Amino acid sequence: MATELNTSIQYLSGVGPKRAELLRRELGIETLSDLIHLYPFRYIDRSGITPIARVAADLACVQILAKVVTRTLYGPSSSIVSQETDPIHWGAVKRLSIIVEDESGRMEMVFFKGIRWNYQRLVPGSTFLFFGKPQAFGGRFNIVHPEVDVPQDGAMAQGTLTGVYPSTEKLKTGGITGKVMCKLQSAALALCLPEIQETLPEYVLRDNALVPLQYALRNIHFPKDAYALQKATYRLKFEELFFLQLSLLKQKYVRSRGECGLPMPKVGPDFHACYNALPYALTGAQQRVIKEIRADLMSGRQMNRLLQGDVGSGKTMVAVLSCLMAIGNGYQACIMAPTEVLAQQHYANIQKYLKPTAVRCALLTGSTTQKERREIHAGLEDGGIGIIVGTHALLEDNVVFRNLGLAVVDEQHRFGVDQRAKLWAKGPGIPPHVLVMTATPIPRTLAMTLYGDLDVSVIDEMPPGRKPVQTMCIGQNRRAAMYKFMRDEIARGRQVFVVYPLIFESEKMDLQNLEQGYEDIVKAFPLPDYKVAIVHGQQSNEEKNFNMSAFVAGRANILVSTTVIEVGVDVPNASVMVIESAQRFGLSQLHQLRGRVGRGAEKSYCILVKDVKTSKEAQQRLDLMCATEDGFEIAEQDLKMRGPGDLEGTQQSGLPINLAIASLAKDGTLLMQARVYADRVLDADPTLSEPRNFLLLKELRKEKYEMKDYSKIS
């Protein structure tokens, strides 16, 4: 094994045990290899000198070549500490002010740390390069804690691109400044570069015009020029995305070639009976997706398909028709939902669709009685029940199928891999076909990565007759007008959702806000004219279900709740969605909540109520919500605004590997190229066993690519 790369960071010159612990805690850096794979997230151009007269507060950074004119030591309350005494009373000094000048003017450099050293170094009459962020203070510009260099330092004076590394307050306090980080990187590269071995075969480098790894690592940290930086960045990003896609696609290749699936050549009479009795024609997108699923079921290989569709696009209909195809071939199907409310709703809808068929459907949740359970278990074992809808209760060991052929999993990210493995094991020796449904629109780049080993189908058009939801954003001062609007809608027989944010960290405070909000609503909408129900996470399941059912059944006019209603609750009569403190929600969450209204024939409204303090970024999100209803456009923007790490239900931990340099938000085109190329490589050599792919196989065997995946659990 390479030795320098695995060396503990504490043995690098300038680190030591204390700083090593700080680097480990703050940035997860333990070895020299970890350090050289921490890349700058931006670069500062040190090539230009700014005249003092041209300094402005909106400049990110400036570099000034200037002569020291005076130096003044200040104590508490800005009193001047005498500089004539020998020795100077350093204990009384709180700040050092250096006035510098060039031909165009004067400005101040301020130091609160390293005062003695800087005082002794910055002697009046001497010239230095000062670099930092300018700010206006007391009528003139200053730089606090500038980087100071002697002009003939070479690189600094001629101007180079200097990397800026991720940092934290603790690192800066511990003395690991940007400048120190650059020195550490330089020392680590000097030791490690000779040992760095190429990870990509010669033909991959040639086909994609990639620079060698050693060149890329040197120039990502210390770019020779902008062109070298561009080549280094391209190489490292491509490699990261290529291996990510290669690992996912390899699983898919192995499975599609090795996994036989249950053969389902027929469609069957029940499918036709249901299809022909539909009250409306399927959209083009629904028809396309059903054809894709049909082709999978006939292929002789196990289907692993992700079905993406915006709220209300008709995914349940597609799921039912898919289940009926399985039944037409003598198999059973199950539909698994993340919550009891959603399972009940699916069951009610599916029962309607199944009326023209002879198929028996059952519901199994935590609140199913023992007597009902026994009947359901018997019906599943003897094959009498064709479709079972349920929650995690379906995973219990005593749930045994006679012939499970299709598993539909709703809201994918709420089920762990281990839970899915249990479901797959219920198949008749051969794993069932799998259809995963999600109503969270996922940008294409993210879907290709999170679900890279699944085939993706998208329902990207809405059924006819769904009216757009009118969205508006208001401030706290419009509350009275909003209450009047709510009363008018209730008078017309409509219902209203009022949603409050509940963020775990400050749950107590949020719960108070929710309860306060509930009291305000009850005051504004008193009994007996109005009934207000409340639902939140601290309630028991019985309480939650009771209140939710009251609203669904129309016994309550207003439902005050936290985001528990985000997924799937279907109340066609609800026409108004009020979202309080809307600036605290992410875009995809706002979009999911808005999807709770607009399900009936009436015009619907979504009112985003923002707090007085709303940041510029939050306002951008709210503006976008008012401008579009397209879930996929919103998801793309969400990814750009917040990065994949924060996307609802797709935390960074959901990514198969942590990306160190590539970004799913910004590098979508490169991700596509990497995927197409990975596909080409696997097409020629699915197991990567050819000698020329030795390096690829070696890299994929590294721990970071060992993910729990579908191919291993099927």
Provide the CA 126 distance to its chain's centre, in angstroms: 51
The domain spans of the chain are 4-42+186-195, 47-159, 269-299+313-438, 469-628
pLDDT, position 155? 39
Give Cβ neighbours of residue 88 (< 8 Å, ≥ 6 apart). Answer: 73, 81, 82
Rounded CA-CA distance 566/438 in Å is 13
Write out the H or E segment, with its range, that includes residue 483. Answer: helix 479-491
Token couple for 424: 């797959």
Q: Say what the pLDDT of residue 74 is.
A: 92
- What does the pLDDT read at residue 450? 65
Q: Is the dihedral of CA 44, 45, 47, 52 positive or negative?
A: negative
Q: What's the confidence (pLDDT) of residue 150?
A: 81
Helix (H) or strand (E) segment spanning residue 679: helix 668-684
The pLDDT of residue 323: 97
Tokens of 151: 């002009």
Are 184 and 15 in contact by the 8 Å Cβ rule? The answer is yes
Whether the Cβ atoms of residue 425 and residue 266 lie closer than 8 Å to each other:
no
What is the predicted pLDDT for the residue at 127? 94
The mean predicted confidence, pLDDT, of the chain is 85
CATH for 47-159 is 2.40.50.140
Contacts by residues 277-283 (CB-CB < 8 Å, ≥ 24 positions apart): 277/355, 277/356, 278/317, 278/353, 280/463, 280/464, 280/465, 282/314, 282/317, 283/313, 283/314, 283/459, 283/461, 283/462, 283/463, 283/464
* Cβ contact 364:400 at 8 Å: no
Q: Which residue has the tokens 């059903």?
A: 290
* First-to-final CA distance of the chain: 35
Sign of the dihedral through C-alpha 264, 266, 272, 275: positive
Tokens (6 digits) for 611? 């707090």
pLDDT number for residue 453: 66
Reference 497, options 546, 407, 432, 559; nearest CA is 559
> Using one digit for the tens of pLDDT, what is the confidence trace for 56-96?
888 878 899 999 999 999 988 878 887 777 788 888 889 99
pLDDT at position 671 is 86
What count of other Cβ atoms lies within 10 Å of the Cβ of residue 123?
Answer: 9
Q: Which amino acid is at 509?
A: M
- In degrees and rounded to multiples of 5, residue 31 shows phi and psi of -125, 170
Residue 105 CA to residue 519 CA, distance in Å, equals 62
The Cα 688–Cα 695 span in angstroms is 9
- For residue 646, the model assigns a pLDDT of 40
Residue-level pLDDT at 158: 44
**Quick check: do 47-159 and 269-299+313-438 share a fold?**
no
CA distance 500 to 480: 18
Handedness of CA 618, 163, 116, 66 (dihedral sign): negative
| Residue 652 pLDDT | 36
Q: State the fold for domain 269-299+313-438.
A: Rossmann fold (3.40.50)
Cα 661 to Cα 233: distance, rounded to the nearest angstrom: 8
Please name the fold of domain 469-628.
Answer: Rossmann fold (3.40.50)
Helix or strand (DSSP H, E) at 276: helix 269-276
pLDDT of 255: 65
Q: How far apart are CA 279 and CA 714, in angstroms?
A: 37
Q: At what angle do helices 587-594 and 631-642 cross, to 10 degrees?
A: 160
Identify the pLDDT of residue 569. Answer: 66
Residue 541's alpha-carbon distances to 27, 105, 342, 430, 547, in angstroms, are 41, 71, 14, 36, 10
DSSP conformation letters of 127-151: EEEEEE-EEEETTEEEEES-EEE-G
3-state secondary structure of 165: coil
Backbone angles phi, psi at 276, to 5 degrees: -70, -20
Query: Which of 280-306 are b and which e, b meaning 16 or more Cβ less than 10 Å from the residue's Cβ?
Result: eebbebbeebbebbbebbbeebbbbbb
Ranges of residues in the chain whose predicted pLDDT is under 50: 1-2, 153-159, 505, 566, 644-654, 708-714
As given in the structure block, the two tokens for residue 240 are 């990261």
Spatial separation of the C-alpha atoms in residues 578 and 565, rounded to whole Å: 13
Map tokens 């995946």 to a residue.
709
Predicted confidence at residue 711, as pLDDT, reads 33
